[in-house]
């Protein structure tokens, strides 16, 4: 009860609004476990509409946001935009009557090709004859309560995204062309997206007599690049999916909260407040992760690659960590220089196209977010442009959560001393400048719904870390996270120094730290116990992001047996699964 009172008492500033995304509305939605996780029952939706009116929320229109964006008006406190995707028939038969009953405005996002006869994708989504028609939409439009927006013309689908045949959102994916074994060019991609959005706008405007200004991206998949393409198509208002609200007068793309699992008004209210207060911001989330070298996935063909990837993902899923950091480049000839990449890039040879499928399978199959790692030495020592390399990286991997920049010993002078001389400050500033250029280029291609993050990765070599606090204070202005790697068993003196430094940091500073242990896979029983104790020590010091810096598939069983409790995000021992029990049983026969 106290928590609900606290939520209700939160002051919401002007021009900040919640956008909720509904889909199908049915009378027979199960309370839990319905066949459609995006459906809400007519009863729950009606109760939610009544709750909005009773609690003084202000449903707004697209026009209100457009005016606020141009600073011609301000949105009222407690503003909410109600949106319904896909044009399901229930939008007309169930939602529209409720809007009239409660006198509420709402926006409906329409994939126009579905209405115009593209029955294949529509039937897969909602079944036969279960979409609105133009006459019904004109009736809704004439009521004055309903606005319509683009949901693309024919991009509510996946297209081929890699040689391993994954299908990914058409609006932000460079299509893989198997006949020529190449990806769609930038020009071809941009031409395709603009043409689709223009077709969608033309249909909506002609059929409904309106001037559509907004696109609600299918699957919430939008990048700054596709956002700009929408503007060229005449759709300057852009809506993705995500976990954070945006001020109406500062953003070009607004995030929407996705309604799932037939929520009650109380549940929806809690999600609305979370959305407004950023409690799901990435830096506040608990993360348990593994760092993995894609070199392990190199294979003579895609079939063997899939077998290796399946084994890796099965191990990670059993361990129940929730984030993967992938090392995406390699020094193949051991000459001290990076010479190959595992993604298409103009600056390095591609050893094998592995990253895209690994990222997609990790996200969709086991629900892990994924970071990519690149070393800063590519620019500082090899003369490559790290920002442009990152652009190539993210362009074909739009679902990455962020980038980890491995900085080697660039910060050694800073971490060892509380005050820095000019040479040290210059070295740090150079790193930050590279990072900022890299982040700017990456965010142009990254899926906006993912809240793209960056981190600087460093390894601790000795116990002299008096500069950690000022480094964190300085780097927070530039970097989202600071990743610190060391072996606490081999170097207990470093861990003692870390504990001392953590006690001097506030909660916000600690939230921006990632600690990763380089584990000795041949550790003794006593040493495994020490690793366990050290992980728990970090948790007791309020560190929320911990992981393993050197995960290998062949050592997965040792990690599972010795560090599951420390690394797992699984809160229920009843759902524990040991993937190695089957192998042990086979060996016993």
Tens-place pLDDT, residues 58-108: 999 999 999 999 989 999 988 999 999 999 999 999 999 999 999 999 999
Contact 551, 291 (CB under 8 A): yes
pTM score, two decimals? 0.90
What was the pLDDT predicted at 141?
A: 97
Contact 559, 548 (CB under 8 A): yes
Q: How far is CA 425 from CA 410, 417, 509, in A?
A: 11, 12, 21
Evaluate if residue 278 carries a pLDDT over 80: no
DSSP string, 140-184: HHHTTSEEEEE--SS-SSEEE-STT--EEETTT-PPEETTTTEEP
460-498 pLDDT per residue, tens: 999 999 999 999 888 877 778 999 999 999 999 999 999
pLDDT confidence band for 249 (50 / 70 / 90): low
Contact 111, 88 (CB under 8 A): no
Q: What is the mean pLDDT of the segment spanning 133-137?
A: 97
What was the pLDDT predicted at 33?
A: 79
What was the pLDDT predicted at 555?
A: 96
Q: What is the mean pLDDT of the segment spanning 145-154?
A: 97
| Residues 6 or more apart in contact with residue 317 via CB below 8 angstroms | 365, 366
Distance, in Å, from the CA atom of 410 to the CA atom of 219, rounded to the nearest integer, reads: 40
Distance, in Å, from the CA atom of 380 to the CA atom of 38, rounded to the nearest integer, reads: 48
> Where does 282-588 sit in CATH, by number?
3.20.20.80
User: Can you say whether the dihedral through the CA atoms of 519, 523, 525, 530 is positive or negative?
Assistant: negative
Distance, in Å, from the CA atom of 454 to the CA atom of 361, rounded to the nearest integer, reads: 22
pLDDT confidence band for 454 (50 / 70 / 90): very high
- For the chain, the first-to-last Cα distance in angstroms comes to 56
pLDDT confidence band for 583 (50 / 70 / 90): low
178-204 pLDDT per residue, tens: 999 999 999 999 999 999 999 999 999
The domain made up of 2-277 has a fold known as: TIM Barrel (3.20.20)
Distance, in Å, from the CA atom of 448 to the CA atom of 227, rounded to the nearest integer, reads: 10
What are the residue ranges spanned by the domains of the chain? 2-277, 282-588
**Among 127, 126, 180, 116, which Cα is nearest to 152's?**
116
Evaluate if residue 348 carries a pLDDT over 60: yes
Chain centroid to CA 236:
23
Evaluate if residue 17 carries a pLDDT over 80: yes
Residue with the larger pLDDT of the pair 342 and 6: 342
CATH topology agreement for domains 2-277 and 282-588: yes
| Residues 6 or more apart in contact with residue 70 via CB below 8 angstroms | 249
pLDDT confidence band for 435 (50 / 70 / 90): very high
- Residues in the chain, overall count: 589
């Amino acid at each position: 009860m106290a928590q609900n009172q606290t939520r209700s008492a939160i002051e919401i500033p002007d021009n900040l609004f919640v956008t909720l995304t509904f889909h199908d509305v049915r009378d027979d939605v199960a309370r839990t476990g319905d066949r459609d996780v995006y459906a809400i029952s007519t009863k729950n939706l009606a109760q939610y509409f009544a709750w909005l009116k009773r609690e003084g929320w202000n449903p707004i229109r697209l026009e209100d946001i457009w005016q606020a964006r141009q600073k011609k008006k301000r949105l009222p406190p407690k503003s909410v935009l109600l949106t319904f995707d896909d044009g399901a028939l229930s939008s007309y038969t169930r939602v529209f009557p409720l809007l009239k009953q409660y006198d509420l405005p709402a926006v409906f996002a329409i994939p126009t090709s579905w209405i115009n006869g593209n029955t294949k994708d529509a039937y897969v989504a909602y079944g036969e004859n279960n979409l609105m028609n133009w006459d019904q939409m004109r009736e809704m439009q004439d009521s004055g309560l309903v606005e319509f927006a683009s949901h693309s013309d024919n991009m509510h689908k996946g297209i081929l995204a890699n040689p391993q045949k994954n299908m990914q959102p058409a609006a932000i994916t460079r299509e893989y062309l198997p006949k020529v074994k190449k990806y769609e060019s930038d020009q071809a991609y941009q031409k395709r997206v603009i043409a689709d959005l223009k077709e969608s706008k033309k249909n909506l405007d002609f059929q409904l007599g309106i001037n559509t200004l907004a696109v609600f991206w299918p699957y919430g998949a939008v990048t700054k690049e596709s956002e700009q393409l929408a503007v060229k198509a005449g759709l300057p208002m852009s809506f993705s999916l995500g976990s954070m609200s945006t001020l109406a007068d500062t953003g070009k793309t607004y995030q929407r909260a996705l309604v799932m699992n037939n929520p009650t008004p109380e549940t929806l209210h809690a999600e609305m407040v979370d959305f407004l207060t950023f409690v799901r911001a990435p830096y506040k989330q608990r993360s348990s992760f593994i760092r993995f070298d894609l070199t392990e996935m190199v294979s003579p063909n895609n079939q063997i690659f899939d077998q290796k990837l399946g084994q890796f993902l099965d191990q990670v899923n059993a361990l129940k960590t929730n984030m993967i950091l992938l090392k995406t480049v390699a020094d193949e000839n051991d000459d001290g220089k990076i010479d190959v990449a595992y993604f298409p890039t103009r600056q390095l040879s591609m050893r094998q196209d592995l990253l895209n499928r690994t990222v997609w399978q990790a996200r969709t199959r086991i629900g892990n977010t994924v970071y990519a790692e690149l070393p800063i030495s590519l620019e500082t020592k090899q003369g490559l442009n790290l920002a442009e390399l990152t652009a190539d990286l993210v362009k074909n991997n739009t679902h990455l959560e962020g980038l980890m920049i491995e900085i080697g010993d660039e910060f050694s002078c800073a971490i060892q001393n509380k005050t820095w001389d000019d040479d040290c400050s210059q070295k740090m500033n150079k790193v930050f400048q590279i990072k900022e250029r890299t982040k700017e280029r990456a965010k142009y291609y990254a899926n906006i719904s993912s809240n793209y993050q960056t981190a600087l990765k460093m390894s601790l070599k000795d116990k002299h870390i008096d500069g950690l606090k000022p480094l964190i204070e300085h780097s927070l202005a530039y970097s989202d996270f600071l990743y610190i790697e060391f072996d606490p068993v081999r170097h207990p003196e470093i861990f003692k120094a870390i504990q001392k430094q953590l006690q001097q940091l506030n909660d916000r500073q600690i939230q921006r730290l990632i600690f990763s242990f380089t584990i000795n896979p041949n550790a003794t029983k006593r040493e495994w116990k020490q690793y366990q104790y050290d992980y728990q020590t970090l948790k007791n010091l309020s560190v929320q992001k911990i992981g393993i810096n050197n995960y290998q598939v062949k050592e997965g069983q040792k990690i599972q047996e010795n560090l599951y409790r420390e690394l797992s995000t699984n809160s229920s021992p009843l759902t524990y699964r040991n993937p190695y029990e089957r192998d042990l049983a086979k060996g016993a026969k």
